[in-house]
Amino acid sequence: MAHRKKNRNVGIIGIGQTKYSSHREDVNQPEMIHEAVIAALKDAGLTMKDVDCIVHGNMELFEMVHQPDLWHTLGTGAYGKDCIRITTGGTVGATVACAADNLVASGMYDIVMAIGFEKLQEGHTTGGITNMADPLWFRHLQTGALTGTKAYDVIKEFGEERAKRASLMYRIIMDKHAGLNPNAHRAFGLEFEQIDDLIKTSPRLVGDLKLIEMCSQSDGACCVIFACEKKAKELSKKPVWVRDHITVHREEVFVMFGYDDRNPFPATHRFAAEQLYTRNGVTSPVDYFDVFEMYDPASWWAVDWLRDFFMLKGDEHLKLVENKEIMIGGKIPVNPSGGVIGSNPIGATALVRVAEAALQVRGDAGAHQIPTPVNHALASGFGGTMWTVLMMLEKELNWQEAHNG
């Protein structure tokens, strides 16, 4: 994949999040966004005067609001500034981060604020998602965002007992992580002893995808401030450097009509990971990265995707889960924040992955900070038709010469 080096380096210098929850009647959309914006400005020690451009994104029409970037100006602080709206479905939070990185790296702006938000309780998510599908072929057959095919795949490959236990093991690890994150929407206090019980008792949503394994619908906003190397060094004691990012997607992944061995589920995740690691010289991602904030909409997906993102073979990914290597304190902690299963304000969700990965690099994640040093972090975004976005974050600016500032 053709890829050119950055024109200049970009650092994350401000991070702000709201508490994620099921309802926010007390604030309207711009007011909720404003909370994250103020938190990010405070974190960066900036005012809106310092910000050159705002990149705004969420799921199209999930709040049943047209052109939200315009009427959110009061919350985003975009008054009198350049503002760009981006919407790429579930990946949008990651895409606003990539766009902000590009806008700064290009030299267009020195400081760019990326904002992702969602108030899922206001709109109609399944209706919105269903309308994304091709009206001729798929729209009448859509069920929304849920699918049981991944559970089917994993069960088929590894047997029912091991597969179901791995999915629940992953789920409970996420719940334990969420319990440490004050912003997380859901933390039930699940214990590993409940695995067998939950396999039997949790209601099935689609196929073998159970209610407990699925992410929530959350309200919340996230804001991340990106700055050019010069400004980042001036303004921030601990800038987190954006090393690289990649986006891969394809539309025909609406595989509605059953699993086909000869035409497996297109592996955009693995493709994206391969491209990204190759061009950055990462040979063993599990060893290279210290933390991974993964967009994990459901535990079945999450377990399976670990294999793609970490370029693993056979059942190595299952072993990571089964041996709790993905837990805080493990070999490669995944989602210390509790992940998407813990909180899913969709338009913010993928940006939260970047924000949480950056907090881990800075060592500012609080109770869910992993105990070992974090020098290299990976964040992923996921959306509807197998969109994949990966972003690599670094503590030190030492992987390439910084030509300019």
Partner 1 sequence: MSLDFDRKDCFVVDGKLALPYTYFAGRMGSKFITTLRDEKKIMGVKCPVCNKVYVPPRQTCEIDMTDIRENWVELRNTGEVTNFTVIRYDDKHLPRKAPFILALVKLDGADSPFAHILEGIVPEEVTLGMRVEAVFAKATTSTILDIDHFEPARVSKVQVSEPAPRAQEHAAVPKSKEELDQDERRKAMSKKIIITAALAGAATMKNQNPAVPYSPQEFADDAYKCWKAGAAMVHVHAREDSGMATHDHGRIKDTHDAIREKCPDLIVNMSSAVGMGKTAEQRISQIIHVKPEMASLNTNTMNFSLVDRKSGKVFIDFVFENTFTMLQDFGKAMEEAGVKPEMELYDMGGLDNWALIAKQGFFTRPFNFNFVWGVAGGQAFRPDAFMTMKHALPEGANFTTCGVGTDQFPAITMSSLAGGHMRVGLEDNIRIPTGELAKGSYEQVEWAVKIAQIAGREVATPDEARAIMGLRKR
> In this chain, which of 77, 90, 285, 336 binds partner 1, going by CB under 8 A?
77
**Shortest reach from residue 136's CB to partner 1, in Å:** 6
Distance between first and last Cα of the chain: 27
Nearer to partner 1, 141 or 367 (CB): 141
Instruction: Check residue 123 for interaction with partner 1 (CB under 8 A).
Output: yes
Q: Which stretch binds partner 1 (CB under 8 A): 124-132, 234-242, 335-343, 393-401?
A: 124-132
Helix (H) or strand (E) holding 121: none
Count of Cβ atoms closer than 10 Å to residue 84 Cβ: 17
Least gap, CB of 48 to partner 1 (angstroms): 5
Distance CA 164, CA 171 (A): 11
Instruction: Tell whether residue 24 is a contact of partner 1 (CB under 8 A).
Output: yes
String marking each residue 136-165 x if it binds partner 1 according to CB under 8 A: x--x--------------------------
Cβ at position 97, least distance to partner 1 in Å:
23
> Nearest Cα to 8, choosing from 115, 112, 103, 114?
103
- Helices 92-105 and 346-362 meet at what angle, rounded to 10? 60
Note whether 27 binds partner 1 by CB under 8 A: yes
Torsion 57-58-61-64 (CA) sign: negative
What binding mask, one character per residue, do residues 55-74 give for partner 1 by CB under 8 A, x or -? ------x-xx--------xx
Q: Which two tokens stand for residue 301?
A: 């997906």
Out of 6, 56, 119, 176, the only residue in the binding site for partner 1 (CB under 8 A) is 119
Q: Retrieve residue 323's tokens.
A: 């041996």
CA distance linking residue 37 with residue 224, whole number of Å: 8
CB of 122 to partner 1, least distance (A): 5
Max CA-CA distance within the chain? 59
Beta bridge partners of 381: 389
Tell me 397's DSSP state: S
Q: Residue 191 region, left (φ>0) first, then alpha (ψ -120 to 50), else beta?
A: beta
- Strand order of the sheet with strand 219-228? 82-85, 53-57, 111-119, 219-228, 10-17, 240-248, 387-394, 376-383, 291-293
Question: Binding to partner 1 by residue 133, rule CB under 8 A?
Answer: no
Taking CB under 8 A as the criterion, which residues in 242-301 touch partner 1?
Answer: none
Instruction: Tell me the closest approach of the beta carbon of residue 167 to partner 1, in angstroms.
Output: 32
Nearer residue to partner 1 within complex by CB, 72 or 395: 72
Q: How far, in Å, CA of 276 to CA of 247, rounded?
A: 10
Out of 68, 75, 89, 90, the only residue in the binding site for partner 1 (CB under 8 A) is 75
The pair of three-digit structure tokens given for residue 313, joined into one six-digit string: 């073979």
Site for partner 1 in 320-379 (CB under 8 A): none
Residue 28 C-beta: closest distance to partner 1, Å: 4
Q: Please give the residue ranges that form the binding site for partner 1 (CB under 8 A).
A: 23-32, 34, 47-48, 61, 63-64, 73-75, 77, 79, 119, 121-124, 127-128, 131, 135-136, 139
